[in-house]
Amino acid sequence: MKQLIRKYNVPGPRYTSYPTVPYWDSGTFSADLWQQSLIKSFAESNDKDGISLYIHLPFCESLCTFCACHKRITKQHSVERPYLEAVIKEWEMYVGLLGKKPVLTELHLGGGTPTFFSAANLKLLIEAIFSKAIIGNRPEFSFEGHPNNTTKEHLQTLYNLGFKRVSFGVQDYGPKVQKTIHRIQPFENVKAVTLAARATGYESISHDLIFGLPFQTWNSMSETIEKTKSLKPDRIAFYSYAHVPWIKGVGQRGFDENDLPTPDQKRELYEKGKELLSTLGYIEIGMDHFALPTDSLYKSMENKTIHRNFMGYSSSSTQLMIGLGMSAISDSWYAFAQNEKSTEEYIKKVNEGKIPVVRGHVLNNEDLVVRRHILNLMCLLETSWKDEKMQLAEKNAIIVRLLEMENDGLIMLNDCHLKVTEKGRTFVRNIAMAFDLRMIRHQPESRIFSMTI
């Protein structure tokens, strides 16, 4: 395994989309083309599947130096209402464009720190969203909560509005690690908010853990997992720390790269962590995720309805996802669109009556086929080109790129089907890269992705 890690530990995308953001062709993108693709997708899928809605709430009171999200650091809570008013206006513009109330199947509040906002303001936001939507039969509403500031009022207010899933960012309980990444939250805080969520009635509670953080050792990682065990969350996201200071700037330069575990040490954290999670009854889902057999994410994997998009893995699959808020990304299946990354520019554009997209990508026929193959790999760990709709002109070249992975025991391959082996799960990003025709044709001149291991 160490030899394979050294061989395959290269920069690569995480494939929350295809094409990946650095390969979007924004030169041929326009707001009009995005809106056309949105209307087309809505007409095709709303009555059957409904839509997903992601709302980006970017404010945080302090900077976590491991974080690669788009955020705004402030302690001034006067920013809440003007921002939410802009989000509501953006939603109203989308509903007007669609021509009727959409069926809301999935809703996720991400950040930033959604629980930076008061419970009252979150209620105002969600009620405004609901007033322009039809709630689906089995909706899945979720939010990300900071253990230090998620109150019982937050939990009860959102639960009363239909939220049944919550995710808490834990990362690591080691004091030295927490101090270095500027994310200090005692186990007692996480325990209190997890138990409060369970008592409120939340059906799925998730904890986010990260391996590969500065000064992280197996001792601190195993202690973190053992403490997590005592709370038995329904899901665990076990992420690899993506060190990309050349993209994220000062936030990820708060420590020396020499403080990070070596690639071998980092993979040991993952392999041992995965083994320990398995002994606790968690089952690995796709990439980076684990769930108890009672959780809807596991059940969606079993019945092959699991989906992956910019919100991560989801147990519900919709063709159309609308992203609201600063930097939010929307996905019509046929096109991607990203909003203004500056809070001020986002609010300004919305108040001018404009849908605030600034860049995106319209997928061509080849993109759509490659996207389906990569999505199959990331969700189901297999894909097939037996169906005529899954054929690619460069199929033979893709197979040639996969042969070495087959020889290394990472995949099982025949003329029309690929299946990732248990050994190959670790390298699913590398396997997906064999299909990434845009990256293969235009290799980056500088490093733009984190390491795959």
Residues annotated within a binding site for S-adenosyl-L-methionine: 54, 66-68, 111-113, 144, 171, 183, 208, 242, 329
ω into 19 cis (within 30 of 0):
yes
Provide the angle, in degrees to the nearest 10, between the axes of the packed helices 80-98 and 343-351. Answer: 50
Q: Which helix (H) or strand (E) holds 189?
A: helix 187-200
Question: How far is the C-alpha of 146 from the C-alpha of 157, rounded, in Å?
Answer: 16
Find out whether 248 and 274 touch, Cβ atoms under 8 Å.
no
Neighbours of 195 (CB within 10 A): 12
Question: How far is the C-alpha of 450 from the C-alpha of 292, rounded, in Å?
Answer: 29
Residues flagged as binding site for [4Fe-4S] cluster: 60, 64, 67
Q: Which helix (H) or strand (E) holds 359?
A: strand 357-362
Question: How far is the C-alpha of 136 from the C-alpha of 164, rounded, in Å?
Answer: 14
Residues flagged as binding site: 54, 60, 64, 66-68, 111-113, 144, 171, 183, 208, 242, 329
**Strand ranges in 372-421 using DSSP code E only, listed in sequence order:** 382-384, 411-413, 417-420
Question: How far is the C-alpha of 178 from the C-alpha of 209, rounded, in Å?
Answer: 12
Task: Reduce the DSSP state of residue 273 to 3 states and report it.
Answer: helix
